[in-house]
Chains A and B, each alone.
Chain A
Amino acid sequence: MSSLSYAAPTTVDEAVKLLAGASGLAKVLSGGTDLLVQLRAGRLKPDLIVDTKKIPGIIGIRKGSDGGFVIGAATPGAEVEANAELNAAWPGIVEALDLIGSTQVQGRCSLAGNLCNASPAADSVPALFAAGAIAVVVGGKGKREVPVEQIPTGPGRTSLGKDEFILEFKLPPRGARSGDAYLRFIPRTEMDIAVVGCGINVTLDEKGVCTAARVALGAVSPTVIMVPEAAQVLVGHTLDADTLAKLDAAAQAAAKPITDKRGTVEYRKKVAGVLARRVAAIAFDRAQGKTNGKAH
């Protein structure tokens, strides 16, 4: 028999001790929709699995003292998607999560798992980056708050220490005239890994001029990346033809994809530009209260 151990700690301290004390490879289990697949394919051979789902607060959605949403790290995607308030405030995050895998997968998958699996093509991550989410990390040295864009460091790698894991995500309070959106390109209509993904979050003034923007691109770099140059193109402008063209160019310039079985360099760069334009249009519309249904 294999030497795989499983533990389901009921407190943060217990979990941290288990991770710190593990002699071999220890992996955190939230929904398991990446971990189990990798286990079965033989790509990962952990000695210890630490299931965090019994830790109080790690599953669930609540409001923080500042009025921003706090989402437990292991909350299943389906639960996030079913939350009406979250849908209204952050439709981009919800629609991104809704693209992961399939309906069945979303019954289990989590934002923390998607982020910490650190695939450059992860779907919820560009939307989370664009939202400016903060990851509340717990570990041997206590609790710290980390902007989500600082978590993934390379394909399959994160900045978390051996004894650390994410407890919850804090979203900033939602200001007025703000909207976010996420689109990805896949060859089929479902069940594909993103060839390119784009998340954009904007705040506009009463005249529809952008006052704040965050743009993130997925699948065109070793990690999901923030694209400040693209955000700068938007700030101070409405989404006119000139802005769109500059946005397209900025996205293409920032994209540094590889040619692999899912897409070529040239194609991915072109599509990064296309998606940036389309996502921005939806985000701007939502910020102005124009509901256009699902983006994808």
Chain B
Amino acid sequence: MNYVASDLKVVGTRPVRPDGVDKVTGRAVFAADTRAAGMLWGKIKRSPHAHARILSIDTSKAAALPGVKAVVTAADFPDIPSEEAFVGEGPMNFRDLALNVMARSKALYEGHAIAAVAATTQEIADRALELIDVQYEVLPFVIDVEAAMAPDAPILHDDLFTAGVNPKAEKPSNIAKVVTFKKGDVEAGFKDAEVVVEGRYTTQPVHQAYIEPHACLASYQPDGQVSIHASSQGHFMVRAYTAKLLGMDMANIRVNPAEIGGGFGGKTLIYLEPVAVALSKKAGRPVKIQMTREEVFRGSGPTSGATVEVKIGAKKDGTIVAAQQVLKYQAGAFPGSPIGPGCMCGFAMYDLPNVDVVGYDVVSNRPKVAAYRAPGAPITSFAVESAIDDLARKLGMDPLTLREKNAAKNGTKTHYGPVHQNIGFTAVLDAVKAHPHWKTPVKDGQGRGLAVGFWFNIGGESTATVHVNEDGSVTVATGSPDIGGSRASMGMMVAEVLGIDVARVKATVADTASIGFTHLTGGSRVTFATGMAATQAAEKVVDDLKKRAAATWEIPVEAVEWKDGKAYPAGSNAGAFEPLDLAALALKAARTGGPIVAEVSVNAQGAGAGFGAHICDVSVDKETGHVTIERYTAVQDVGRAIHPSYVEGQIQGGAAQGIGWALNEEYIYNAKGQMENPGFLDYRVPVASDVPMIEAVLVEVPNPRHPFGVRGVGEVPIVPPMAAIGNAIKSATGVRMPDLPMSPPKVRAALDAAG
């Protein structure tokens, strides 16, 4: 880290956000707003069955309908051999992705895409879908994770054999893999324990619930060039995956980023683009596809539902000596739940000598799960943090003190191997202890809960270009779609390095043809990794500007210093020259060497892990079971807040999503495995009045591996809320709620059962 907090003039301030006016006036251009001449409307026919063999698809009547210009099924896509390739976010099996985008021989969930049409109006496209005749052989289905693991469960994939077991699996199974992490000797640890708590917890699948449904506009030109506008967290990922699924050269695809109305991980993969391109190729015209809200629920990936068993043993003084977990995560129709992080994150914030964690990745007949903010971590922490709370009660210990006693510190070895370095967990716990919320006695009739959370945060590949315009204003272009204010923070970091007013810096997101490769926006990586690239590019520009000044003044470049946006002779010996600002230097750029531009690409390592702690006060209406969040404080180590309002916004947003996950969100299925609540009326995301003002407390323990000390912030805040609320309900009512959501009927039933 090179920039010292006390010197910062821009970083840490709160300029007006650059995208605000357009977004609140409706002028911002989202993927669904894009239009092209001759554009057709694409629509997708989806399976009504949770599990079925596709016997035949007859598209002839649909194709014959006037106004229909193209129809596609899986037959129009290459049959991809099973292949793991790490392109984009996490290991991605492209065969599975292709089958998810368009079913081949089986419909694996209600909502699974079976065919698609492109027509001149939306109405004609809808009618065309009705004319597509699909013959199904309906099969028994299974949704619940433990039911899917049962030996007699309907099997989704005949070629899926459980990985990670010894001896090797012989029969196909819905259990895709088993993972284990061990440290020390957990049996000996439990023998040594003086107090033991156990619990079994279940969570329901929840959707990322971004307010903007998936949408794209694709145009396949006669010369084979493809242009795509997509709502996505990563346009390079869209390019790569689309090319892969269509058997095309990536070089012929150009993807343009658009404003995005939320992603939270749900837009780190693709659903529509290959379909739109295939339709466009057949029709010879651009094709737009937009998901309806119902399609988003039926056809796109939520996070896993899960069961988690936890057992923790401690000494009477609160030292935890043994910790054990068994986690079973739903993957949806294809393997790939976040079981790995689920196994790693639950205990990551504690210093534990003996740990045993086993995790199962299980397929079942529902949409393939997609990433959702700290994937895997909220589920495991709901269980662990509830159990730790029970442990504190059993020990007669304050829940904060128990966590302090066992807190991971720098040098603590995790149970999955890596050693924590440069972490701020202790600072977070200290901040909780000092906070007025923690110090204020709980109000009569209310209860208080505490829970902590962890996320790794990642770095990765990013490219940034900084160039000085002829008038001395500056542009920073990156390849990172902006889902959390990254344009503002890029502009601020560049302004800081250059020493100029942030209003003179414009940040943009460049398309795949216009900037070097950039990994998608996710994993809380952009302010860290892309910020690193932007900062380094700005530093190169400063070096260049000093050279230009030196050339202008005919002095050695070592005799030039750069301060507050100007070049100065360094000391009186250098010469009595008037300082040169960006505008002056830009004016003469052609004479001093040409355009002033720097591009930097990084594969940023050293991302700093994030820790958070949430305090929640609730009141419970014991007659209706309704839980009201009365007060909520989210404390988090953010490294360095470039734009504190955005950082607070990330924390509040993650906490609000955790509150919804805790209290009311769930998929409701009927007896046929069809979703009954595919809309926000009955899929109950919190509304503004459900959530009090969430106080975000920014603790700054800088990450030394980033020039400004940045840590990723976006994902940690969704990890603690469920347990914080569960612990608060326990405190208010004496009842432990082990099953999410903690909705009113369940709370009332639990209170009745407790007598």
Contact (Cβ within 8 A) A274 B623: yes
- Give min CB distance, A260 to chain B, whole Å: 8
Q: Provide the A180-196 mask, 1 if CB < 8 A to any CB of B, else 0.
A: 00000101111111000
B199 contacts partner chain A, Cβ-Cβ < 8 Å: no
Interface of chain A, main secondary structure: loop
Contact (Cβ within 8 A) B748 A270: yes
Compute how far the CA of A84 lies from the CA of B749 in the bound complex, rounded to whole angstroms.
Answer: 41
B24 contacts partner chain A, Cβ-Cβ < 8 Å: no
Interface residues of A in 266-293 (CB under 8 A from B): 266-267, 270-271, 274
Contact (Cβ within 8 A) A263 B687: no
Known pairs A261-B677, A264-B745, A270-B748; A185 contacts B624 (CB<8 A): yes
Contact (Cβ within 8 A) B624 A192: no
Contact (Cβ within 8 A) A261 B624: no
Q: Provide the B604-636 mask, 1 if CB < 8 A to any CB of A, else 0.
A: 000000000000000000011110100000000
Q: Which of B624, B689, B749 has the most CB of A within 10 A?
A: B624
Closest residue of chain A to B685, judged by CB? A188
Q: Provide the B13-53 mask, 1 if CB < 8 A to any CB of A, else 0.
A: 00000000000000000000000000000000000000000
Chain B residues near A189 (CB-CB < 8 A): 628, 687, 689-690
B754 contacts partner chain A, Cβ-Cβ < 8 Å: no
A2 contacts partner chain B, Cβ-Cβ < 8 Å: yes
Contact (Cβ within 8 A) A262 B682: yes
- Give min CB distance, B697 to chain A, whole Å: 25
Contact (Cβ within 8 A) A263 B745: yes
Chain B residues near A193 (CB-CB < 8 A): 681-682
Partner of A187, one of B123, B689, B743, B749: B743
- Give min CB distance, A102 to chain B, whole Å: 9
Chain A residues near B625 (CB-CB < 8 A): 267
Compute how far the CA of A278 lies from the CA of B677 in the bound complex, rounded to whole angstroms.
Answer: 30
- Give min CB distance, A127 to chain B, whole Å: 20
Compute how far the CA of A289 lies from the CA of B599 in the bound complex, rounded to whole angstroms.
Answer: 74
Partner of A192, one of B623, B628, B684: B684
Closest residue of chain B to A191, judged by CB? B687
Contact (Cβ within 8 A) A188 B681: no
How many B residues touch A, CB cutoff 8 Å? 26
Known pairs A187-B664, A192-B684; A2 contacts B749 (CB<8 A): no
B442 contacts partner chain A, Cβ-Cβ < 8 Å: no
- Give min CB distance, A261 to chain B, whole Å: 5
Compute how far the CA of A215 lies from the CA of B688 in the bound complex, rounded to whole angstroms.
Answer: 32
- Give min CB distance, A196 to chain B, whole Å: 9
Contact (Cβ within 8 A) B686 A188: yes
B543 contacts partner chain A, Cβ-Cβ < 8 Å: no
Compute how far the CA of A50 lies from the CA of B687 in the bound complex, rounded to whole angstroms.
Answer: 34
Contact (Cβ within 8 A) B682 A188: no
- Give min CB distance, B642 to chain A, whole Å: 34
Interface residues of B in 653-700 (CB under 8 A from A): 663-664, 668, 676-677, 680-682, 684, 686-690
Compute how far the CA of A191 lies from the CA of B688 in the bound complex, rounded to whole angstroms.
Answer: 10
Contact (Cβ within 8 A) B686 A271: no
Q: Provide the A134-155 mask, 1 if CB < 8 A to any CB of B, else 0.
A: 0000000000000000000000
Closest residue of chain B to A193, judged by CB? B681
B284 contacts partner chain A, Cβ-Cβ < 8 Å: no
Q: Provide the A190-214 mask, 1 if CB < 8 A to any CB of B, else 0.
A: 1111000000000000000000000
Contact (Cβ within 8 A) A271 B624: yes
Contact (Cβ within 8 A) B624 A2: no
Chain A residues near B628 (CB-CB < 8 A): 189
Compute how far the CA of A192 lies from the CA of B625 in the bound complex, rounded to whole angstroms.
Answer: 16
- Give min CB distance, B729 to chain A, whole Å: 15
Compute how far the CA of A185 lies from the CA of B747 in the bound complex, rounded to whole angstroms.
Answer: 14
- Give min CB distance, A216 to chain B, whole Å: 19
Known pairs A2-B123, A187-B664, A187-B744; A261 contacts B689 (CB<8 A): no
- Give min CB distance, A286 to chain B, whole Å: 21
Chain B residues near A262 (CB-CB < 8 A): 682
Contact (Cβ within 8 A) B745 A188: no
Chain B residues near A261 (CB-CB < 8 A): 668, 676-677, 682
- Give min CB distance, A247 to chain B, whole Å: 14
Partner of B689, one of A2, A190, A266, A267: A190
Compute how far the CA of A115 lies from the CA of B625 in the bound complex, rounded to whole angstroms.
Answer: 29
Chain B residues near A192 (CB-CB < 8 A): 681, 684
Chain A residues near B664 (CB-CB < 8 A): 187-188
- Give min CB distance, B45 to chain A, whole Å: 15
Contact (Cβ within 8 A) B748 A187: no
Chain A residues near B680 (CB-CB < 8 A): 191
- Give min CB distance, A263 to chain B, whole Å: 6
Chain A residues near B690 (CB-CB < 8 A): 188-190
Compute how far the CA of A189 lies from the CA of B745 in the bound complex, rounded to whole angstroms.
Answer: 15
Chain A residues near B688 (CB-CB < 8 A): 190
Compute how far the CA of A193 lies from the CA of B126 in the bound complex, rounded to whole angstroms.
Answer: 29
Q: Which of B126, B625, B676, B745 has the most CB of A within 10 A?
A: B745
Chain A residues near B624 (CB-CB < 8 A): 185, 271, 274
Closest residue of chain B to A277, judged by CB? B623
Compute how far the CA of A129 lies from the CA of B543 in the bound complex, rounded to whole angstroms.
Answer: 79
Chain B residues near A266 (CB-CB < 8 A): 749
Contact (Cβ within 8 A) A188 B748: no
- Give min CB distance, B127 to chain A, whole Å: 11
Known pairs A263-B745, A267-B749; A188 contacts B623 (CB<8 A): no
Known pairs A261-B677, A274-B624; A188 contacts B668 (CB<8 A): no
Q: Provide the B122-137 mask, 1 if CB < 8 A to any CB of A, else 0.
A: 0100100000000000
- Give min CB distance, B5 to chain A, whole Å: 41
Known pairs A264-B745, A274-B623; A188 contacts B677 (CB<8 A): no
Compute how far the CA of A262 lies from the CA of B683 in the bound complex, rounded to whole angstroms.
Answer: 10
Chain A residues near B743 (CB-CB < 8 A): 187
Interface residues of A in 205-242 (CB under 8 A from B): none
Chain B residues near A187 (CB-CB < 8 A): 626, 663-664, 684, 743-744
- Give min CB distance, A54 to chain B, whole Å: 29
Interface residues of B in 104-140 (CB under 8 A from A): 123, 126
Known pairs A267-B745, A274-B623; A188 contacts B676 (CB<8 A): no
Closest residue of chain B to A37, judged by CB? B681
Compute how far the CA of A194 lies from the CA of B745 in the bound complex, rounded to whole angstroms.
Answer: 14
Compute how far the CA of A261 lies from the CA of B628 in the bound complex, rounded to whole angstroms.
Answer: 21
Chain B residues near A264 (CB-CB < 8 A): 745
Compute how far the CA of A187 lies from the CA of B621 in the bound complex, rounded to whole angstroms.
Answer: 11
Chain A residues near B689 (CB-CB < 8 A): 188-190
- Give min CB distance, B662 to chain A, whole Å: 12
Interface residues of B in 170-203 (CB under 8 A from A): none
- Give min CB distance, B674 to chain A, whole Å: 12
Q: Which of A1, A188, A263, A266 has the most CB of B within 10 A?
A: A188
Closest residue of chain A to B746, judged by CB? A267
Compute how far the CA of A270 lies from the CA of B744 in the bound complex, rounded to whole angstroms.
Answer: 12
Interface residues of B in 480-524 (CB under 8 A from A): none
Closest residue of chain A to B123, judged by CB? A2
- Give min CB distance, B502 to chain A, whole Å: 36
Chain B residues near A191 (CB-CB < 8 A): 680-681, 687
- Give min CB distance, A259 to chain B, whole Å: 10
Chain A residues near B663 (CB-CB < 8 A): 187
Q: List 19 A-B contacts (CB under 8 A).
A: A185-B744, A187-B626, A187-B663, A187-B684, A187-B744, A188-B664, A188-B686, A189-B628, A189-B689, A190-B688, A190-B690, A191-B680, A193-B681, A261-B668, A264-B745, A267-B745, A267-B749, A270-B748, A271-B624
Q: Which 10 A-B pairs have the closest CB atoms?
A: A267-B745, A189-B689, A274-B623, A261-B668, A261-B676, A191-B687, A190-B689, A190-B687, A189-B690, A188-B690
- Name A residues whose Cβ lies closer than 8 Å to a Cβ of B: 1-2, 42, 185, 187-193, 261-264, 266-267, 270-271, 274
Q: A187-B744, A270-B623 are in contact. List 13 more A-B contacts (CB 8 A).
A: A2-B123, A185-B626, A187-B626, A188-B684, A188-B686, A190-B690, A192-B681, A193-B682, A266-B749, A267-B748, A271-B624, A274-B623, A274-B624
